[in-house]
Amino acid sequence: MNDEDLQFLETSKERMYSNYMRIINKEDILELLELINNLLDISKIESGKVDLTFDKISTNELSEKMEIKFNEMFKKKEIEYLVWDNTKINF
């Protein structure tokens, strides 16, 4: 192989990687990083390196955040998302 052939191969490889990067959007990368962080957190909890604290949360706020996060996926997969408000639940 001569220098021109090598340069062509390197340019082709760069284009291929560039196309891959266009396919992977920023949101996918952030979701993957969040998943990795969650797995690391679970690992820390299981190994006893993290102490858990339990706090009261607003189920309405949690439900709204879940709906915002998963709304597009629900629509694409035609999943119906329902929330029941039962204020009589005591913990």
Q: Domain for residue 32, yes or no?
A: yes
Query: In this model, does residue 91 exceed pLDDT 60?
Result: no
Q: Is residue 88 part of a domain?
A: no
Q: What is the pLDDT of residues 7-56, one digit of tens each?
A: 666 777 777 777 777 667 777 788 888 899 989 988 888 888 877 788 88
- Report yes or no on 34 lying in a domain: yes
Domain that holds residue 42: 3-76
Q: Is 0.85 topped by the overall pTM?
A: no
Is 86 among the domain residues?
no
pLDDT band, residue 81 (cuts 50/70/90) = confident
CA distance 29 to 36: 11
Residue 81 within a domain? no
Please count the structural domains in the chain.
1
- The answer to whether residue 43 sits within a structural domain is yes
In Å, what is the CA distance from 80 to each residue of 72, 76, 83, 84? 12, 11, 10, 13
